[in-house]
């Protein structure tokens, strides 16, 4: 029952974005700087190849201006107007210290978060693109960022240092940090599915539910790590679902008032799954069963971190004044000490609501309501998009 959208790209599609609203467009970006706009029927509305022909790594629409599109390529963010796609209407040059991996716009359309290979997250004021915050705490590639709904000044980030961080943008240090490797070690759960490769939990993709309190993070260990944020933006609980037999590359909450805790995931095993997390103990604490306190996250030396093969020397921490380092370390110790009160819940053993084999490694996926029907749009190693209507599966 899957539909194939072809003809929009000549190389592998790397990212997809969906415009808000019932008649919004779908945008896809590929290697070589190609960006394509699609209608809900899968027809090509417009195409553009950006100057420089660098790979497009992330594409997002503004929730406040559905025709406004932000696209990252190299260390540049291009601003496009979907009504006139002849050329960028603006460019924010050099906003990434190295190649940009991910973008996120808050729901008021007033801030754009930019995550790059150096591990730095920059927050830009919109419109204009002025850098208002530079967040330096990741010690490896920062792979994903997401704003919390209803809290436009709260930002989640995740990276290949296996850290998930919540930031309050009034400050330049995280409110809390969760180290996914420490979680796995504390659980003592090194058993994996038959045929599953043992990989460290490099964090690839972070997403936040519509209520703003549940966080999902797809990781290289095949799990989607879940976190619940409580009062005062504190980390209350964390757990995981064993989602994929190889690295989980994508995890996105479905924007649906009737299903607020549906999560779609994709992985290097070619599987796509839909999860209903409403009864997972992290989401529904009254049914959580056994819990236990965990120790505060430990910091890991750089030697233990896996890096992208092509960027072994890209991830050195930025130089800092010695006093500032000491102050930051003291502040981080307080933050991480508070995180010691969080609970780690036993894993929910129930499987996905549905799961199917896409047959190829998933580069990107997202949920979209197309012609009134809830669908999943999947980008893989090919130059076409695949659309799966959920009601037919």
What pLDDT, on the 0 to 100 scale, is given for residue 6? 97
Q: H-helix or E-strand containing 337?
A: helix 322-338
Question: What 3-state DSSP class applies to 251?
Answer: strand
114-129 burial, b if ≥16 CB within 10 A, otherwise e? bbbbbbbbbbbebeeb
pLDDT-derived band at 290, boundaries 50, 70, 90: very low
Q: How many CB atoms are located within 10 Å of the residue 54 CB?
A: 17
pLDDT at residue number 291 = 34
Task: Report the pLDDT value the prediction gives residue 165, as an integer from 0 to 100.
Answer: 98
Q: pLDDT confidence of 327, banded at 50, 70, 90?
A: very low
Nearest to residue 345, comparing CAs of 281, 254, 389, 302?
281
Kindly report the pTM of this predicted structure.
Answer: 0.83
Q: What pLDDT is attached to residue 151?
A: 95
Domains and CATH numbers, the chain: 13-136 (2.130.10.10), 137-188+197-256+273-282 (2.130.10.10)
| Residue 314 host element (H or E) | none
Assess contact for 315 and 118: CB atoms under 8 A: yes
Q: Give residue 22's pLDDT band: very low, low, confident or very high (50, 70, 90).
A: confident
Higher pLDDT, 243 or 198: 243
pLDDT(81) > 80: yes
pLDDT higher than 60, residue 307: no
- The tokens describing 312, both together, are 């072994």
Residue 3 has which token pair?
Answer: 């539909």
Which three-class secondary structure state does DSSP give residue 132? Answer: strand
Of 257-261, 267-271, 322-326, 367-371, which one has max mean pLDDT?
Answer: 267-271
State whether the Cα torsion 300-312-56-318 is positive or negative. positive
Would you put residue 42 in left (φ > 0), alpha (ψ -120 to 50) or beta? left
Q: What pLDDT is stored for residue 344 in this prediction?
A: 55
Q: What is the pLDDT at residue 91?
A: 96
Over residues 47-65, mean pLDDT: 95
pLDDT category of residue 345 using cuts at 50, 70 and 90 = low
What is the distance between the alpha carbons of residues 236 and 241, in angstroms, rounded to a whole number? Answer: 17
Whether the ω angle into residue 127 lies within 30 degrees of 0, i.e. cis, is yes
Q: Is 218:251 a contact under the CB 8 Å cutoff? A: yes
Beta partners for 343?
237, 293
Neighbours of 199 (CB within 10 A): 15
% the chain with pLDDT above 90: 72
Q: What is the mean pLDDT of the chain?
A: 85
């Amino acid at each position: 029952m899957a539909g194939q959208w072809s003809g929009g790209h000549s190389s592998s599609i790397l990212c997809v974005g969906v415009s808000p609203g019932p008649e919004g467009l779908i945008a896809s970006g590929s290697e070589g700087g190609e960006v394509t706009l699609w209608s809900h029927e899968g027809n090509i509305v417009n195409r553009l190849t950006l100057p420089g022909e660098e790979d497009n790594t992330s594409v997002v629409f503004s929730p406040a201006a559905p025709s406004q599109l932000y696209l990252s390529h190299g260390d540049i963010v291009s601003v496009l107007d979907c009504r006139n796609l002849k050329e960028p209407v603006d460019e924010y040059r050099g906003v990434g210290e190295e190649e940009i991996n991910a973008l996120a716009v808050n729901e008021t359309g007033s801030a754009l978060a930019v995550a790059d290979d150096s591990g730095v997250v920059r927050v830009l004021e919109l419109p204009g693109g002025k850098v208002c915050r530079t967040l330096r705490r990741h010690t490896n590639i920062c792979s994903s960022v997401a704003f919390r709904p209803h809290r436009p000044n709260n930002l989640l980030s995740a990276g290949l240092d296996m850290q998930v961080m919540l930031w309050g943008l009034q400050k330049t240090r995280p409110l809390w940090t969760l180290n996914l490797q420490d979680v796995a070690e504390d659980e003592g759960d090194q058993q994996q599915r038959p045929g599953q490769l043992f990989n460290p939990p490099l964090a690839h993709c972070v997403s936040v539910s519509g209520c703003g309190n549940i966080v999902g993070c797809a990781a290289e260990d095949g799990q989607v790590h879940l976190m619940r944020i409580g009062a005062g933006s504190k980390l209350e609980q964390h757990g995981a679902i064993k989602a994929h037999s190889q690295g989980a590359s994508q995890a996105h909450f479905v924007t649906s008032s009737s299903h607020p805790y549906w999560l779609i995931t994709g992985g290097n095993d070619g599987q796509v799954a839909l999860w209903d997390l409403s009864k997972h103990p992290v989401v529904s604490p009254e049914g959580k069963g056994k819990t236990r306190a965990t120790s505060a996250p430990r910091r890991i030396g750089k030697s233990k971190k896996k890096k992208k093969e092509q960027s072994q020397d890209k991830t050195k921490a930025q130089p800092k004044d010695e006093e500032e380092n000491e102050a930051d370390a003291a502040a981080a110790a307080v933050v991480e000490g508070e995180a010691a009160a969080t609970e780690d819940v036993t894993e929910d053993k129930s499987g996905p609501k549905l799961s199917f084999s896409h047959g190829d490694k998933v580069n990107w996926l997202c949920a979209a309501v197309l012609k009134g029907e809830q669908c999943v749009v999947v980008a893989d190693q090919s130059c076409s998009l695949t659309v799966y209507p959920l009601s037919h599966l």
